[in-house]
Structure 1
C-alpha cells in the first residue's frame, strides 16, 4: 500500500509537470501559426494507450512514462522525422518561422516550469506559512550521532555559525548546506573555529545509505519509550514518557550526557531523578555491567520539545502580498541549491555522482501518507529541477535548440538540417546514457 501511495503521487506530479511543460511549447507555437502535429503525455513508440485527433493535432497518452513531447511540423525533435525535412519548407512549419519566434517556442517549456514552481511556493507560503527550528535556538549546540559527523569535524555541543560565510537561519537546512558547501565555522567551548568540508563528504554520505539517519540532530532529553523485559530494571518504577534529569545527583539535560555518567557507574545501584508530567520523582535503578539501564529512547517532536522548554520554534504566516516575495525567494534558493549540487556531481573527486538517482529515487521522496502540503512542495521542487535540466545546452533538450537558435541570431548563419539531425542523435545518446546510469544507481542501491 505504501508503494502504491508513493507511486500514485509520483505519477500525478510527473504527469502534471509534463503536460504543463509541453503546453509551454504548444501555446506559443499556435500563436505563431506553427502546426503542432502531436501533443503527448509519455512516449508512444509503436502504439498509444489513448489518442484523439482534434483539428490538426493528435492528442494522446503513450505507454513509456519517460516524459512527453509536442511534435512541431518542420522541426528535428524527438520524433526524428527527417523525411519531412527533405521536402520544401512550408509557411506553417517551425523552420519557416523567424529565429525570435522559434526561440520563444523552445523556451516556453522551461519558462512554464519556473513560473509554476514560483506560483506553487507562493501559494504554499500563503496557505501554510512556515514553522521551523531556528539554528540559533540550539544554545547548547548539535548532537553528532555517528562517524560521518565526526569525519566532517563536528562534535556534540558545537554551535554551527556559518557555512561558506552564510548564516543558516533554519536548522533543517544545515544538512543540505553541508552538501553544497566547502567550509564552515563553529563555536566550540567558547572558541570560534573554521573548518573545511572534506571533498569526499558527499561520497561518504551516499555510502551510508538512505536509512542511516541524520548525521546531526538537535540535542534531545533522555525520554523513556519503554523498559526491556529482560533488563535489570524490568520491575523498576521507570515508566514510558519519563524524562531522566539526573543520575546520583549528576544533572542530565540531554540524552548524550547520560552515556559517560552511566558508564562511570556500571554495575551499581543508582537513584534517578525523573520528570513525570508535572512531578519530579526519585526512582531507584540498576546500571548494567555494560553501562546502560536497559531502556529504549523515546522520540520527541519539536513541538513537544518547545513545550518542555528546550527550544523555541519560529512560526511565520504570510498575507498573499507577503507570500509573493517569500515564495519567489524560496524558488530562487531551490534553483541555486540545485545548481550547486550539479557542480558537485560534475566533480568526480566529490563522489556526488554516486548519489545521482532515477525514477526510484524521485518516487521515494514522496511520503507514504498523502499530504497536499508535501505533495505541492515536492512538485514545486521537481518543476524547477525539470526547468533547469531542460535548459542545459545539450542537443535533444530545449537548451540545445536554444543554443543553435541563438547562434543563428548572432551570426546570421542557420545550422544545416544534417548537422541538427546528428546533434539530436548525439544528444539522445548522452541522455540515454545518463538515464541508464541514474537508474542503474537506483538498482545498485536496492540490492546493496
Structure 2
C-alpha cells in the first residue's frame, strides 16, 4: 500500500509539472499566433492512451512517462519532422517568427515551472505557515550516531556555526553540512565552551555514499517531571519542572534509560540527581513495585516554531523560498560536475525521485515536494543541451546576437546529439537506481 501511495503521488506530481511546463510553450505560441499541432502529457511512441482534436491541435496522453511535448509547427524539435521543414515557410509557423518571439516561446515552459513553485510556496506559507525546529531550542544538545561520533561530535554537543554561518533552522542543517566542494568546520557548544570540529571532504563523501547522515543527530529525550502524582514523590521533594539526570551516582539523561534503571531498583529507595533551574539536587526517592517514582513525565520538552503569514505576507515569503531553493539546487548541480566531490554517484532516476514521497498521504508534504521538483524541472530544462529548452534558447539567443540563424540541417543534427546526451543521462541516472537497489 505504501508503494502504491508513493506511485500515485509521483504520477500526480509529474503529470502536473509536465502539464504546466508544456502549457507555457502552448500559451506563448498561441499568443504569437503560432500553430500548435500537438499537445501531449508523456510521450506516445507508436500509440496514445487517448487523444482528441480541437481547433487544429491534437491533445493526448502518452504511455511513456518520461516528459511531455508540444509539437509547434515549423520547429525542429524531438519529433524530427523533416518533411514539414522541407515545405515553404507559412506565416503561422515557428520559423516564420522573429527571434525574440521564438526565444520567449522556448523559455515559457521554464518560466511556468518557476511560477508554479512560487504559487505553491505562497499557498503553503498562507495555509500552514513555516514550521521548523530552531537550534536555539536544543537546550540539551543532540545525540549522535556512530558516524557522528567518528566525525568528532559528542553527545550533548549543540551546533553553533558551520563555516562561520550561524545554525538556526535544523531542517536545512544536513544540506548546509553535506553540500560542499571542500571540508567543513563546525563549531559546537560543549560543556559551556565552543569547540571547532574540522570535517574533511573525504569524510563527507563517505557519509553521503553510506547514507550515514540518516539519524546523524537526534534530540535527546530528558526525563522532566510534568506533575507529581503520589505522596511518596512529594515526600521525596520532587516538583514539576525537575529534570532527572542520574540515579545512585550514575549520569543518565534520557527518558528510556532512566525508566530501565528504575525497573532495576524497584521496591527500593534510590538517590536521584535532579536539575532544578540552575541547581543540582540529590533526592532520596522510593521506587514502587512497578519501577515507577509516582510522577508523570513531560511528553516532550520541545516545540516546533511556526511563523504564520497573512496572504499579503505569504507572497514575498513564497518568492523568497523559491529563490532559496533555486540557489541551493544550482549549487548542488555545480558540485555534481566536479569529480572530486563524487556527487555524480548520487544522481538518481525515477526510483530516487519516487522515494522522496512518503508512504502516507500528506498534502503539505506533497505540495512541498511538488514545488521542489518543479524547480528541478525548470533548472534541468535550462541546461544548454540540444533537445532541451535551454539548447533551443541558446541557439536563438546566438541568432539574436549575431543576426545569423543556424541552418535547419545544423539544428537537426544538434537534436540528434542532444537526444543521445539526454538518453545517456537517463540511462546513467536510472542505472544508479538499479545499482543501489540490487548491489549496494
Range of TM-score over shorter length: 0.7 to 0.9
- Give the conservation status (yes or no) of the 8 Å contact 1:39–1:71: yes
Write the deviation string for residues 29-80 of structure 1: whole angstroms up to 9, x where unpaired. Answer: 0110111110001101011111111121100011101010001111111111
> What is the alpha-carbon distance in structure 2 between the residues aligned to residue 170 and residue 17 of structure 1?
28
In the other structure, the counterpart of 2:46 is 46
Report whether the alignment pairs 1:352 with 2:352: no
- Give the conservation status (yes or no) of the 8 Å contact 1:40–1:61: yes
State the shift of 1:19 in Å.
0.6
Q: Per the alignment, do residues 247 and 72 of structure 1 end up closer, same or farther by CA in structure 2, a change over 3 Å counting?
A: same
- Give the conservation status (yes or no) of the 8 Å contact 2:113–2:377: yes
- Give the conservation status (yes or no) of the 8 Å contact 1:271–1:284: no
- Give the conservation status (yes or no) of the 8 Å contact 1:122–1:327: yes
In the other structure, the counterpart of 1:324 is 315
- Give the conservation status (yes or no) of the 8 Å contact 1:143–1:256: no
Write the deviation string for residues 148-206 of structure 1: whole angstroms up to 9, x where unpaired. Answer: x2344433222222224322321121111112244233133444344444223453233
- Give the conservation status (yes or no) of the 8 Å contact 1:168–1:174: yes
- Give the conservation status (yes or no) of the 8 Å contact 1:270–1:284: no
In the other structure, the counterpart of 2:239 is none
In the other structure, the counterpart of 2:179 is 180
Q: Per the alignment, do residues 399 and 195 of structure 1 end up closer, same or farther by CA in structure 2, a change over 3 Å counting?
A: farther
> What is the alpha-carbon distance in structure 1 between the residues aligned to residue 176 and residue 286 of structure 2?
42
Q: Per the alignment, do residues 18 and 272 of structure 1 end up closer, same or farther by CA in structure 2, a change over 3 Å counting?
A: farther
- Give the conservation status (yes or no) of the 8 Å contact 1:393–1:399: yes
Report whether the alignment pairs 1:206 with 2:208: yes
- Give the conservation status (yes or no) of the 8 Å contact 2:145–2:217: yes
> What is the alpha-carbon distance in structure 2 between the residues aligned to residue 433 and residue 202 of structure 1?
28
> What is the alpha-carbon distance in structure 2 between the residues aligned to residue 365 and residue 317 of structure 1?
26
State the shift of 1:134 in Å.
0.4
In the other structure, the counterpart of 1:154 is 153
> What is the alpha-carbon distance in structure 1 between the residues aligned to residue 434 and residue 286 of structure 2?
52
Per the alignment, in what secondary structure is the counterpart of residue 52 of structure 1? strand
Write the deviation string for residues 358-409 of structure 1: whole angstroms up to 9, x where unpaired. Answer: 1111111111111111111111111111111111111111011111111111
* Root-mean-square deviation over aligned CA pairs: 2.9
> What is the alpha-carbon distance in structure 2 between the residues aligned to residue 196 and residue 79 of structure 1?
53
Pairs within 5 Å for 1:278-289: 282=287
In the other structure, the counterpart of 2:356 is 365
> What is the alpha-carbon distance in structure 1 between the residues aligned to residue 327 and residue 143 of structure 2?
28
Per the alignment, in what secondary structure is the counterpart of residue 387 of structure 2? coil
In the other structure, the counterpart of 1:90 is 90
TM-score by length of 2: 0.83
> What is the alpha-carbon distance in structure 1 between the residues aligned to residue 218 and residue 129 of structure 2?
23
- Give the conservation status (yes or no) of the 8 Å contact 2:381–2:388: yes
State the shift of 1:308 in Å.
5.1
Write the deviation string for residues 112-137 of structure 1: whole angstroms up to 9, x where unpaired. Answer: 00010011001101000122210111
Pairs within 5 Å for 1:367-382: 367-382=358-373
Per the alignment, in what secondary structure is the counterpart of residue 201 of structure 2? coil
Per the alignment, in what secondary structure is the counterpart of residue 200 of structure 1? helix
State the shift of 1:327 in Å.
1.5
In the other structure, the counterpart of 1:26 is 26
Q: Per the alignment, do residues 257 and 36 of structure 1 end up closer, same or farther by CA in structure 2, a change over 3 Å counting?
A: same
Q: Per the alignment, do residues 201 and 283 of structure 1 end up closer, same or farther by CA in structure 2, a change over 3 Å counting?
A: farther
Q: Per the alignment, do residues 138 and 354 of structure 1 end up closer, same or farther by CA in structure 2, a change over 3 Å counting?
A: same
- Give the conservation status (yes or no) of the 8 Å contact 2:48–2:61: yes
State the shift of 1:281 in Å.
5.5
Q: Per the alignment, do residues 84 and 165 of structure 1 end up closer, same or farther by CA in structure 2, a change over 3 Å counting?
A: farther
Q: Per the alignment, do residues 176 and 52 of structure 1 end up closer, same or farther by CA in structure 2, a change over 3 Å counting?
A: same
- Give the conservation status (yes or no) of the 8 Å contact 1:51–1:59: yes
Pairs within 5 Å for 1:102-251: 102-147=102-147, 149-181=148-180, 182=182, 183-187=184-188, 188-209=190-211, 213-221=214-222, 245-251=245-251
